[in-house]
Amino acid sequence: MGLYDRDYYREPESGFSLRMPKTMVVTLILVNLAVYLANGLLTGDDNGISNALAVSNQTLWQPWLWWRFLTYGFVHASNEHIFFNMLGLWFLGRVVEQRYGRGEFLRIYLAMLVAGSVIWVASNVMFEPQEQLINGRLYPIVYRLVGASGAVSGVVLLFILNFPRQTLILFPIPIPIKAWLLGVLLIAYNVFGAFGGKGSFGSQSNTAFSVHLVGFAFAYLYFQNQWNLSRFSLGRFSLSNLKPRPRLKVHDPGADEAAMSKEVDRILEKIHQQGEASLTRKERRTLENASRQYKERRGE
């Protein structure tokens, strides 16, 4: 792995297991597929599950339904809709998850879902007609938003920002293209769709271009400012640091080795949850020292 020795990673246990997948990307894909299948098999043409989880322009005025600002991202309108979203998440999301870690990737993904729906609803309320006149009476117009496209768009741009010179193969036409050029084309296409279509900010289009742009913007700000959303998590502070330290220490090589092994396990778990970029200089030096000591013992 370069910085740390791969032999420190624990090998997965063999045999059948019902535990959740190791990667967050696989977990998200399975959840999306489960919701899509449940909506089709259990509710039929009325799309009961889809409508219950979708966010609409009226959700802004219904605080008891604000959870829909998140759940809409696990609902899809068609086979093509879910196929291309999950395809992009599968091919590029796994690399982004390896870059930032399982836990941080989930926080990024959910934050982009919420940001996209909130801004979509706000722009819809501000720029689109909310009522229509039918037979002399005013009736509310309901716009609904479903799909993970905003979050997937942000994940794609995070990949491009981290690996701009990587060569990608377009689907379904196998055309090689540099990642940075694909990013330029995607942003240009969505800007034109959002501001060049019939509706203000693309609200009247069947494709939520504005949500895609929010995903792009969030990914850019996250990358440019080197955010770490785990800092907003609860329970990251401990009173153990306030305990008095003993003034006299007795050197015990066995205890030092056990402490080193425990610290390496903690650092590797941090990499798994938050990505290699979250490591401090001290933690990197610890991994380097542990790797060097391990190689020396193998040489002996």
* pLDDT on residue 197: 57
* pLDDT on residue 205: 61
Spatial contact of 112 and 119, defined as CB atoms under 8 Å apart = no
Which secondary-structure segment (H or E) carries 61? none
pTM for the full predicted model: 0.71
Question: 3-state secondary structure string, 216-237?
Answer: HHHHHHHHHHCCCHHHHCCCCC
| Per-residue model confidence as pLDDT tens for the chain (300 residues) | 333 333 333 333 444 444 555 799 999 999 999 999 999 888 877 778 888 999 988 888 899 999 999 999 999 988 999 999 999 999 999 999 999 999 999 999 999 999 999 999 998 888 777 767 777 777 777 788 999 999 999 999 999 999 999 999 887 778 899 999 999 999 999 999 888 755 444 445 678 899 999 999 999 999 999 999 987 654 454 444 434 444 544 445 566 677 778 888 888 888 877 787 777 888 888 888 887 777 776 665
Query: Does 21-232 carry CATH code 1.20.1540.10?
Result: yes
Domain ranges of the chain: 21-232, 248-299
* pLDDT on residue 207: 83
* pLDDT on residue 260: 75
Enumerate residues 6+ apart whose C-beta is below 8 A from 190: 153, 209, 212, 213, 216
The neighbour count for residue 110, using CB atoms within 10 Å, is 15
* pLDDT on residue 258: 75
Q: How far apart are CA 271 and CA 150, in angstroms?
A: 26
What is each CA distance from 161 to 140, 149, 152, 232, 238, in whole angstroms?
Answer: 42, 18, 14, 24, 35
Convert 206-231 to b/e letters by CB count within 10 Å (16 or more is b): eebbbbbbbbbbbbbebeeeebbbbe
Enumerate residues 6+ apart whose C-beta is below 8 A from 10: none
